[in-house]
Structure 1
Amino acid sequence: MEGALHEVMAQGFDGDGDMDAPCCASRQEQGSTFLSVTYQRISYTELYVVTDSFSAQNLIGHGSFSNVYKGTLSCGVHSVNVAVKVLDLRQRGANRSFMSECNALKRIQHHKVVKVITVCDSLDHSGAEFKALVLEFISNGSLDEWLHPSTGSTENTHVTLNVVQRLNIALDVAEALEYLHHHINPPIVHCDIKPSNILLDDDMMGHVGDFGLAKIINAEVSGKCLGESSSVGIKGTIGYLAPEHGMGAEISMEGDIFSYGVLLLEILTGRRPTDASFHDATSLPKYVERAYPDKLLEIMDSSMPHNGNIQEVIDLFVAPISRLGLACCRDSPRQRMKMCEVVKELSAIKKACERQFDLVDV
Structure 2
Amino acid sequence: MLCGGPPSLQLPSCPYNQASQHRRRVILFCIVGILIFFMCSLTACYLMKTRIKPNSGADQEIKFHHEMHERISYAEIDAATESFSPANLIGSGSFGNVYIGTLNLDESLYTVAIKVLNLGKRGANRSFLRECEALRKIRHRKLVKVITVCSSLDRNGDEFKALVLEFVCNGNLDEWLHPKAATNSMTFRRLSLMERLCIALDVAEALEYLHHQIEPSIVHCHIKPCNILLDDDIVAHITDFGLAKIMHTEECEHGGGGTESSSLVIKGTIGYVAPEYGSGSEPSTEGDVYSYGVLLLEIFTGRRPTDNFMDGVTGLVGYVRMSYPYKLLEILDASATYSGDTQHIIDIFLYPMFKLALACCEDCPRHRMKIDDVVKELNIIKRACAAHKAVHEFRATA
The two structures have a TM-score, normalised by structure 2, of 0.79
* Residue correspondence of structure 1 range 302-321 to structure 2 within 5 A: 302-321=334-353
Give the distance between the partners of 2:320 and 2:222, measured in 1 at CA: 22
Cα displacement (A) at 1:322: 0.4
Matched, 1:67 2:97: yes
Match of 2:138 among 88, 108, 123: 108
Match of 1:283 among 292, 312, 315: 315
Query: For 2:358, what is the secondary structure of its paired residue?
Result: helix
In structure 2, relative to structure 1, the CA distance for the partners of 1:345 and 1:231 (3 Å cut) is: farther
Cα displacement (A) at 1:247: 1.2
Query: For 1:245, what is the secondary structure of its paired residue?
Result: helix
* 1:286-344 CA-partner distances (Å, limit 9, x unpaired): 11111111111110001114455433332222211100000000011101000000000
Matched, 1:93 2:134: no
Q: Is the 8 A contact 1:123 1:130 kept in 2?
A: yes
In structure 2, relative to structure 1, the CA distance for the partners of 1:279 and 1:194 (3 Å cut) is: farther
Cα displacement (A) at 1:218: 1.1
Give the distance between the partners of 1:118 and 1:308, measured in 2 at CA: 50
Q: Is the 8 A contact 1:278 1:284 kept in 2?
A: no
| Counterpart amino acid of residue 35 in structure 1 | E
Matched, 1:213 2:243: yes
Give the distance between the partners of 1:218 and 1:151, measured in 2 at CA: 45
Query: For 1:32, what is the secondary structure of its paired residue?
Result: helix
Q: Which residue of 1 aligns with 2:199?
A: 169
Q: Is the 8 A contact 1:145 1:151 kept in 2?
A: no
**Percent identity of the aligned residues?**
57
Gaps of 5+ in 1: 1-28
| Counterpart amino acid of residue 296 in structure 1 | L
Cα displacement (A) at 1:38: 2.2
* Residue correspondence of structure 1 range 38-77 to structure 2 within 5 A: 38-39=64-65, 40-77=70-107
Cα displacement (A) at 1:284: 0.9
Gaps of 5+ in 2: 1-54
Q: Which residue of 1 aligns with 2:113?
A: 83
Moved more, 267-276 or 87-96: 87-96
Moved more, 146-155 or 183-192: 146-155
| Counterpart amino acid of residue 243 in structure 1 | P
Cα displacement (A) at 1:92: 1.2
* Residue correspondence of structure 1 range 1-362 to structure 2 within 5 A: 32-39=58-65, 40-150=70-180, 156=186, 159-220=189-250, 223=254, 232=263, 233-357=265-389, 362=394
Give the distance between the partners of 2:384 and 2:340, measured in 1 at CA: 13
Give the distance between the partners of 1:116 and 1:158, measured in 2 at CA: 26
Q: Is the 8 A contact 1:66 1:86 kept in 2?
A: yes
Give the distance between the partners of 1:107 and 1:158, measured in 2 at CA: 33
Give the distance between the partners of 1:259 and 1:167, measured in 2 at CA: 17
In structure 2, relative to structure 1, the CA distance for the partners of 1:156 and 1:132 (3 Å cut) is: farther
* 1:6-36 CA-partner distances (Å, limit 9, x unpaired): xxxxxxxxxxxxxxxxxxxxxxx99811222
Query: For 1:164, what is the secondary structure of its paired residue?
Result: helix
Cα displacement (A) at 1:158: 5.2
Query: For 2:336, what is the secondary structure of its paired residue?
Result: coil
Give the distance between the partners of 2:182 and 2:368, measured in 1 at CA: 31
Query: For 1:238, what is the secondary structure of its paired residue?
Result: coil
- What RMSD, in angstroms, separates the aligned Cα atoms of the two structures? 2.3
Cα displacement (A) at 1:357: 1.4
Query: For 1:150, what is the secondary structure of its paired residue?
Result: coil
Aligned residues: 332
* 1:242-297 CA-partner distances (Å, limit 9, x unpaired): 11111122211000000000000000100000111245121211111111111111
Query: For 1:91, what is the secondary structure of its paired residue?
Result: coil
In structure 2, relative to structure 1, the CA distance for the partners of 1:297 and 1:355 (3 Å cut) is: same
Q: Is the 8 A contact 2:339 2:393 kept in 1?
A: yes
| Counterpart amino acid of residue 127 in structure 2 | S
Give the distance between the partners of 1:142 and 1:181, measured in 2 at CA: 23
Q: Which residue of 1 aligns with 2:12?
A: none
Give the distance between the partners of 1:32 and 1:187, measured in 2 at CA: 22
| Counterpart amino acid of residue 34 in structure 1 | Q
Query: For 2:109, what is the secondary structure of its paired residue?
Result: strand
In structure 2, relative to structure 1, the CA distance for the partners of 1:278 and 1:63 (3 Å cut) is: farther
| Counterpart amino acid of residue 64 in structure 2 | T
Query: For 2:204, what is the secondary structure of its paired residue?
Result: helix
Moved more, 305-314 or 151-160: 151-160
Cα displacement (A) at 1:145: 0.5
